Amino acid sequence: MSPEQDTSPELTHFRDGLPRMVDVTEKAATLRTATAEGWVRLPPEARAALEGGTSPKGDPLTVARLGGLAGSKRTADLVLLCHPIPVTGADVRVTLEKAGVRIVATVRTTAPTGVEMEALTAVSVAALNVYDMLKAASKAIEITGVRLLSKTGGKSGDYTAPDT
């Protein structure tokens, strides 16, 4: 295929086949938000420990919320090509529902790049904390459904997941 026929998207994080951090120096700092969700499916014994308050490490939902907030601020340390950006607001909600523990994180910034990865990292770290807090009750806990629900701002525009 000739270069004129190539319609594949440019891989912005690679140059000459090697990874690089994209230069955002010239991009304007604008308001950006992102919301992500994830689930922790609990087998009966883990759910019983959570509902009964018998987790030996304390309250899993509170620890998960705090872990998610910390995760949102440490994304650039964990996701290697992410820019370190100022998280100007973060909200992590961790609720026990019939299907399991639902985690929803919303992150805000005014920066030249978005906060999708920060929201996804917040959800992931919160979910890992739920697992850690309840693993004594069951090793069959499952982390699932981590996804971006919405984002606003930036060159690519707004996004809302189709089934939200």
Which residues does the annotation mark as catalytic?
132
**Nearest alpha-carbon partner for 105 in 143, 59, 69, 61:** 69
Helix (H) or strand (E) holding 78: helix 75-78
Residue 81 counted as an annotated binding residue = yes
Residue 118 counted as an annotated binding residue = yes
3-class secondary-structure state, position 1: coil
3-class secondary-structure state, position 47: helix
Residue 13 counted as an annotated binding residue = no
**Rg, the chain, Cα only:** 19
HSE, CB side, 13 Å, CA atoms: give it for residue 129.
Answer: 24
Output the known binding site for substrate: 81-83, 117-118
Give the residue numbers of the binding site.
Answer: 81-83, 117-118
